Amino acid sequence: MDKQTFLTMSPSKRVQEVNKLLLDHDLKEISDLIGIPSSSFSKIMREGDYIYHKADKKYYPFVRSEEERLTNDLSNNSDEVPFFKQHEDTMKKLIKHFENKGLLFLDERIYSRDATYSNKSIRMNNAIYEEFSSFCEEYYPHLKIQHIIAQALCDAMASYKPGRETDKCNL
């Protein structure tokens, strides 16, 4: 475990990992392994109200009251906050992409393992196909063009069907 990983862990996860290491190492060895001075290590380990029990060679949560323990468990047992902090820029880019370009949801029949496929040749205007191909490469490079065309057919059936029933294609 490196220093950055150790510092970004939630207190409860950190205690779990250190308790595992305490089976084979003492506190000084663990602080040296991580690369943190032992005094800083002890202070960091007390975050989240954990205390070290020398006889058991283990960290335990310090409980002042039952209500406080429940509140701390709910707030500290989550790895989401460090994850979101670590990936904040990526999340912002993803949200901005969604707001600007939207998402393309494929009908589950398009990628179903039970689907059977056949090759079809169709005549198409070259300019329209090139524009469509560029569109797919720019906005949906992770999808195959055949899947996007299949979704376009589902969308067309749902949009232009008399009565606009969408029972077959999931939009």
Task: For 115-126, write each residue's pLDDT tens digit.
Answer: 888 898 999 999
Domain locations along the chain: 3-86, 104-160
**Token pair for residue 104?**
């393309």
Q: Is the pTM of this model over 0.85?
A: no
What is the band of 74 on the pLDDT scale with cuts at 50, 70, 90?
low
Render pLDDT for 129-150 as a digit per residue (tens, 0 to 9). 999 999 999 888 888 999 999 9
Which amino acid belongs to residue 42?
S
pLDDT at 73: 59
Round to whole Å and give the CA distance between 96 and 64.
Answer: 44
Render pLDDT for 42-60 as a digit per residue (tens, 0 to 9). 888 888 888 888 888 999 8
Which segment of 72-76, 93-97, 101-105, 160-164 scores lowest on mean pLDDT?
Answer: 72-76
**SS3 category, 55:** coil
Give the chain's mean pLDDT: 83
